[in-house]
């Protein structure tokens, strides 16, 4: 459906320049007939036929050249429009790649669910992209599905090229416990935060208001709950850390787990502003929290 729509828009944009060369061919053909009639009276049939054949060959060659020129111009214009779109999307590729990863998961029935990602993607192509490019840049992609397919294609291309959604990895290698359980898992999480520049403090051994770790960087504070579960993390963890963030006056609540999160937990996290993080991605916490918020906190602290 998407591919056919895309092909249709391209065909339409390429067929428009052909109207002028076709009209030219008809006019030239009529002119050849008139010239043939005039030459026949003056120089005879054979020479008139020869002259007309030469004229027809010349006209066909000229017509083909006009076709080529029009198509080349159309391709250049279309490529320029696509370049403008690509540059606009590239400005947000890190956010888009992150949202694609976070918004695609397996639900409780082990079925893939990309509803959240589809919502974010539609918002981007409907609201953000038109504000970043000129209206004429989108004429080849007039509807939302074709724009979504275009953006996803770009993201897939960047992913295939090895594009990542994170900044440079930590300078020091991460040394983690082989069997991280309970307090050891909290220590691992706190150590990762310290290695990427955060001041992290484990609250108490039994936790405090659902908060296992309190961390701060440049005036921006987070509270973290660490869940070393083998099964998906549910709503209770999100509820606890949301309350803990209010209790500590933190800017954001974070849940870290080596397991997945239930669909219900993800929906609640979206509503409460809680960030759900995979343990392997904790070292990229700055990117996941969004650099803009940290910069705002830095400005307020100056």
The string of DSSP letters for 52-88 reads HHHHHHHHHHHHHHHHHHHHHHHHHHHHHHHHHHHHH
Among the residue ranges 14-23, 181-190, 219-228, the one predicted with the least confidence is 14-23
Q: What class, spelled out in words, does domain 183-301 have in CATH?
A: alpha beta
Q: What are 157's two structure tokens?
A: 């291309």
**Global confidence as pTM:** 0.41
pLDDT bracket for residue 45 (50, 70, 90): low
Torsional sign, CA 32, 33, 34, 40:
positive
Asked if residue 47 lies in contact with residue 39, where contact means CB atoms within 8 angstroms, the answer is yes
pLDDT bracket for residue 196 (50, 70, 90): very high
pLDDT at 55 over 80: no
pLDDT bracket for residue 124 (50, 70, 90): very high
pLDDT bracket for residue 128 (50, 70, 90): very high
Residue 128 and residue 144: Cα distance in Å, rounded?
12
User: Domain extents for the chain?
Assistant: 1-165, 183-301
């Amino acid at each position: 459906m998407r591919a056919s729509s895309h092909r249709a828009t391209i065909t339409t944009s390429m067929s428009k320049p052909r109207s002028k060369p076709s009209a030219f061919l008809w006019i030239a053909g009529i002119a050849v007939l008139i010239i043939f009639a005039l030459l026949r009276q003056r120089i005879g049939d054979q020479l008139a036929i020869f002259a007309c054949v030469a004229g027809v060959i010349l006209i066909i060659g000229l017509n083909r050249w006009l076709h080529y020129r029009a198509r080349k111009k159309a391709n250049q214009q279309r490529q320029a429009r696509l370049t403008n779109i690509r540059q606009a999307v590239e400005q947000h590729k890190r956010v888009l790649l992150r949202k694609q990863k976070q918004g695609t998961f397996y639900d409780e029935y082990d079925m893939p669910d990309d509803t959240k990602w589809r919502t974010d993607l539609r918002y981007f192509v409907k609201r953000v992209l038109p504000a970043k490019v000129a209206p004429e840049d989108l004429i080849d992609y007039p509807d939302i599905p074709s724009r979504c397919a275009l953006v996803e294609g770009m993201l897939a291309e960047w992913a295939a090229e090895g594009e990542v959604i994170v900044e440079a990895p930590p300078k020091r290698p991460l040394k983690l416990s082989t069997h991280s359980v309970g307090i050891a898992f909290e220590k691992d999480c706190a150590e990762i935060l310290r290695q990427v520049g955060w001041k992290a403090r484990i609250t108490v051994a039994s936790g405090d208001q659902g908060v296992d770790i309190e961390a701060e960087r440049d005036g921006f504070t987070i509270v973290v709950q660490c869940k070393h579960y083998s099964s998906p993390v549910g709503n209770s963890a999100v509820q606890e850390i949301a309350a803990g963030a209010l209790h500590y006056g933190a800017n954001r609540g974070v849940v870290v787990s080596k397991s997945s999160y239930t669909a219900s937990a993800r929906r609640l996290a979206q509503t409460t502003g809680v960030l759900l993080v995979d343990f392997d991605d904790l070292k990229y916490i700055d990117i996941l929290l969004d650099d803009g918020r940290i910069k705002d906190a830095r400005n307020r602290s100056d």
